[in-house]
Amino acid sequence: MDMDSNEQQRIIKYLDGEMDDVEIGMFKNDLNTNNNLKKSFESLNIARLTVQMAGLQQTVARVMSHEKKRGINSPSQKHIRTGQLIKFVLAAAACAALVVIGVNRYKETQLTPASLYNEAYTPFDASGSRGAGDIGDSVTIAFREKKFDKVITLYQQVKNPTATAKIIAGSAYLQLSDLQNAESTFSSLINQGLTNTSPYRDDAKYYLALTLLKENSFERAAGLMEEIRRNPANPYSVKFTIDFIGRVKQLK
């Protein structure tokens, strides 16, 4: 399947973890709506894996060739000795194990905070309000327009920011990679939810976990992700699977 150079570069940039948060959101949206892009993405990802697996495929071919020479697959052979069959099965099993190991090693080579962040990240949707009734304010409008510096400037002028303003400001800090302020803003929103019903507490936990991942606080990130995973009422629980959290724990 043919793909244009711009499409290919976007896919490679995503796979290499070189996109910013805005680009990731746009790319994921395009993947969901553009079948050609999705097929190109899958093909290129498989191609990368195939290159990594080439050495393993040669090993499998050598084993199969060896067994064929021994007569295992010869039509003229009427009986296959049990010992030969067992040896062939063991060889096939060994090849399968090598493939699994190869896939795992491939995953390990691609294991970076950026790649895991890109895999789990979904941009905050400011298209609707959940409680404060301030969806039309200037902070929200600036966020929708992706003017994140303006979001922060306006937010800092608010004396008593609402929960909506906080989640939007925290998301803007995260977009700007101001991780310290992103962490404190999300944490404040979570703590606020302990005494008051906050419509954004689940969102804040999700984005705080990603903030911790991005700032290389892997143990804390994995702990919070596990808490989210174990709470099926949290809409982000599906984002953090056991496998995903396991990969976060492998980061050093």
- pLDDT tens digit sequence for 79-131: 444 444 444 445 555 555 544 454 445 444 468 999 999 999 999 988 765 54
- pLDDT single digits (tens) 197-244: 678 999 999 999 999 999 999 999 999 999 999 999 999 999 999 999
Which structure tokens are listed for 28? Answer: 């994921």
Cβ–Cβ < 8 Å for 238, 102? no
CB distance 121 to 145 below 8 Å: no
Domains of the chain in start order, with CATH, are 5-110 (no CATH), 116-250 (1.25.40.10)
Helices (H), the chain: 5-15, 21-33, 35-69, 82-109, 113-120, 138-144, 148-155, 163-175, 179-195, 201-214, 218-229, 242-250
User: Which of these, 7, 5, 14, 16, lies nearest to 36 by C-alpha position?
Assistant: 7
- What does the alpha-carbon distance between residue 22 and residue 41 come to, in Å, rounded to a whole number? 19
Percentage of the chain with pLDDT > 90? 41
**187, pLDDT greater than 80:** yes
d(CA 247, CA 112): 9
Sequence-distant (6+) residues with CB within 8 A of 189 are 163, 166, 167, 170, 198, 200, 201, 204
Mean per-residue pLDDT for 121-149? Answer: 76
Side-chain half-sphere CA neighbours of 100 within 13 A: 6
This prediction's pTM? 0.60
Q: Is the dihedral of CA 163, 165, 171, 173 positive or negative?
A: negative
Q: Which residues contact 202 (CB under 8 A, 6 or more apart)?
A: 228, 234, 235, 236
